[in-house]
């Protein structure tokens, strides 16, 4: 049976492991690597902490992880601790499921000002990703601007707008809960360079804005196209636009009752971050009009006050030495998941950052079909035993799934009242919990 290494233990990684297991049954040899000592990637560190029902999919991944055919190899950074070439020598197929953890850069003058943050950092901060736990965004100003009109922008706007009691039942980390409880933000402006018909937000997520305790969404009726024009939209987008219409119909009296507003600013393309002493104070935007779906600048500029700017404009896969990379698209160069003989990619690393968690399932099954076509079912490689020797020679501290369960137990035990867990946000503490 072939030896398979999957790099990345998020949804794409575990759906691929599940597919490999279905294909080869109990004889499969599947190692799932992660640079963190904890599994589940985007489920743990990307999905919003107040979306616990989405996070519950990790139980399915755990079922796969707990079988004898699949090993979790955590705390190992491929490209640093072990190279792609070395893993290639050991495994019949290497499948990169590394996601797209880096922000698409906000290429604007002033984007290097303090308090201009990418969504990877912001989301990582409130979700307790060790890389971003120290971010400490300054929430002492009244105005936040969120750039982009996708679901990540919605997540960020919603989290910035919630009061402490609205996080009950979530696993938002303590440092973010405390900072948000102290936040002075009153207005969150969501900035879209195109119009209501071009949003990437989904209806269910938009609908949540109607049920916030402290905040209310605001859409200017004049930005909405005539209702008849919605007929040409695909049904999901039509529902989303309907949500915007219901936001526009909220009476002014209700706005007055709320502490915070989430304002949608359409046809507004960001041109520069205005700063004072290197700290953001406003976003300069150019009014646009839409021609054939594209935003065309009108030459009319204005500024929006901004004490905090979060850019939610998409993500890019991290390049790995020795792996062909498509810099324009921000993902590995591949043809239907094939990169080079024996080297594959799946999920966001293959197709870019789009789709739901579930989109990764067919992706995982597809890539395993390709592996079978290419290498069949025989193996002459050493597989995991070879990796174990190499890890021992290098003194690498490998975290196994049973170790992760100890970390998880400690996180569950540390949970505040009503919360499912208190995530550990630094790697030393995670590793220490594996020794208990
Ligand atoms: P996205 O859906 O691709 O949205 C990106 C947004 O950024 C678009 O509105 C885009 O506008 C805008 N944008 C891009 N470049 C820009 C620029 N230079 N200036 C101004 N605006 C710019 O990406 P995402 O929000 O990061 O989401 C990634 C994926 O994760 C999506 O599939 C999303 O649905 C999914 N997700 C799902 C959930 C959920 O289901 N609850 C939660 C979070 C994320 P244009 O359209 O004009 O380019």
3-state SS, one letter per residue, for 179-225: HHHCCCCCEEEEECCCCHHHCCCCHHHHHHHHHCCCEEEECCHHHCC
Pair of tokens at residue 180: 């948000």
Given a cut of 80, whether residue 278 has pLDDT beyond it is yes
Confidence of residue 260 (pLDDT cuts 50, 70, 90): very high
Q: Are 88 and 94 in contact (CB under 8 A)?
A: yes
Given a cut of 90, whether residue 49 has pLDDT beyond it is yes
Predicted structure pTM score: 0.97
pLDDT digits (tens, 9 = 90+) for 86-103: 999 999 999 999 999 999
Considering only 38-52, 247-261, 276-290, 373-387, which range has the smallest mean pLDDT?
Answer: 373-387
Atom 42 of ligand 1, nearest CA residue = 151
Pair of tokens at residue 344: 């594959």
* Nearest-angstrom CA–CA distance, 35 and 385: 19
Say what the pLDDT of residue 334 is.
Answer: 98
* Nearest-angstrom CA–CA distance, 97 and 8: 5
What's the rounded mean pLDDT across residues 24-42?
Answer: 94
Confidence of residue 26 (pLDDT cuts 50, 70, 90): confident
Say what the pLDDT of residue 187 is.
Answer: 98
Atom 21 of ligand 1, nearest CA residue = 148
- Ligand 1 mutation pick, 313, 331, 349, max ligand atoms within 8 A of CB: 313
Ligand 1 center to residue 354 CA distance, Å? Answer: 8
Ligand 1 center to residue 292 CA distance, Å? Answer: 20
Ligand 1 pocket member 198 (CB < 6 A):
yes
Ligand 1 pocket member 153 (CB < 6 A):
yes
Is residue 275 classed as helix, strand or coil in its secondary structure?
A: strand
Say what the pLDDT of residue 28 is.
Answer: 85
* Nearest-angstrom CA–CA distance, 191 and 314: 14
Given a cut of 80, whether residue 325 has pLDDT beyond it is yes
Say what the pLDDT of residue 238 is.
Answer: 98
Ligand 1 center to residue 341 CA distance, Å? Answer: 33
Number of the ligand 1 atom closest to the C-alpha atom of 355: 32
Given a cut of 80, whether residue 378 has pLDDT beyond it is no
Given a cut of 80, whether residue 377 has pLDDT beyond it is no
Ligand 1 pocket member 358 (CB < 6 A):
no
What's the rounded mean pLDDT across residues 94-118?
Answer: 96
Say what the pLDDT of residue 402 is.
Answer: 97
Instruction: Kindly report the length of the chain.
Output: 436
For the chain, how are helix, strand and coil distributed in percent, rounded to 5? 40, 25, 40
Confidence of residue 270 (pLDDT cuts 50, 70, 90): very high
What's the rounded mean pLDDT across residues 328-336?
Answer: 97
Given a cut of 90, whether residue 1 has pLDDT beyond it is no
Pair of tokens at residue 9: 């233990």
- CA-nearest of 21, 38, 42 to 30 is 21
Q: What one-character DSSP code corresponds to residue 365?
A: H
- Please enumerate in sequence order all residues whose Cβ is within 8 A of that of 99, keeping only pairs 6 or more positions apart, or say none: 8, 10, 12, 41, 42, 315, 317, 347, 348, 349
pLDDT digits (tens, 9 = 90+) for 130-161: 999 999 999 999 999 999 999 999 999 999 99
pLDDT digits (tens, 9 = 90+) for 220-235: 999 999 999 999 999 9
Number of the ligand 1 atom closest to the C-alpha atom of 106: 18
Ligand 1 pocket member 193 (CB < 6 A):
yes
Mean pLDDT of the chain: 96
Say what the pLDDT of residue 376 is.
Answer: 80
Given a cut of 80, whether residue 292 has pLDDT beyond it is yes
Ligand 1 pocket member 149 (CB < 6 A):
yes
* Nearest-angstrom CA–CA distance, 143 and 263: 11
């Amino acid at each position: 049976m072939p030896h398979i290494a999957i790099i990345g233990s998020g949804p794409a990684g575990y759906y691929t492991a599940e597919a490999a297991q279905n294909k080869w049954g109990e004889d499969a040899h599947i190692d799932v690597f992660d640079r963190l000592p904890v599994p589940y990637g985007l489920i743990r560190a990307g999905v919003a902490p107040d979306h616990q029902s989405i996070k519950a999919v990790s139980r399915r991944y755990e079922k796969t992880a707990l079988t004898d055919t699949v090993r979790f190899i955590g705390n190992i950074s491929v490209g640093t601790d072990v190279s792609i070439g070395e893993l290639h020598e050991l495994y019949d197929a290497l499948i990169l499921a590394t996601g797209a953890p880096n922000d698409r850069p906000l290429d604007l003058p002033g984007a290097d000002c303090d308090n201009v943050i990418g969504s990877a950092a912001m989301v990582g901060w409130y979700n307790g990703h060790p890389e971003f736990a120290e971010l400490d965004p300054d929430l002492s100003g009244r105005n936040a601007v969120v750039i982009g009109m996708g679901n990540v922008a919605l997540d960020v706007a919603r989290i910035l707008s919630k009061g402490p009691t609205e996080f009950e039942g979530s696993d938002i980390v303590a440092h973010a809960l405390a900072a948000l409880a102290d936040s002075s933000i009153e207005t969150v402006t969501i900035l879209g360079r195109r119009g209501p018909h071009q949003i990437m937000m989904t209806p269910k997520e938009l609908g949540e804005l109607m049920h916030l305790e402290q905040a209310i969404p605001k859409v200017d009726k004049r930005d909405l196209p005539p209702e008849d024009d919605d007929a040409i939209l695909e049904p999901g987008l039509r529902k989303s636009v309907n949500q915007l219409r219901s936001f526009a119909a909220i009476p002014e009296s209700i706005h007055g009752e709320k502490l915070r507003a989430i304002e949608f600013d359409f046809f507004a393309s960001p041109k520069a971050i205005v700063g004072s002493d290197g700290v953001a104070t406003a976003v300069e935007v150019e009014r646009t009009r839409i021609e054939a779906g594209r935003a065309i600048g009108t030459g009319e500029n204005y500024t929006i006050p901004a004490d905090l700017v979060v850019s939610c404009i998409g993500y890019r896969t991290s390049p790995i030495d020795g792996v062909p990379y498509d810099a324009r698209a921000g993902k590995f160069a591949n043809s239907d998941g094939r990169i080079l003989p024996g080297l594959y990619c799946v999920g966001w690393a293959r197709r870019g950052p789009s789709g739901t968690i579930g989109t990764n399932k067919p992706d995982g099954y597809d890539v395993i079909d390709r592996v079978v076509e290419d290498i069949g079912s025989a193996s002459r490689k050493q597989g995991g035993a070879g990796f174990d020797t190499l890890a021992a020679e290098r003194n690498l501290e490998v975290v196994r799934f049973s170790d992760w369960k100890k970390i998880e137990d400690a996180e569950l035990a540390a949970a505040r009242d009503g919360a499912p867990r208190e995530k550990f946000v630094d790697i030393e503490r995670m590793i220490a919990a594996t020794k208990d």
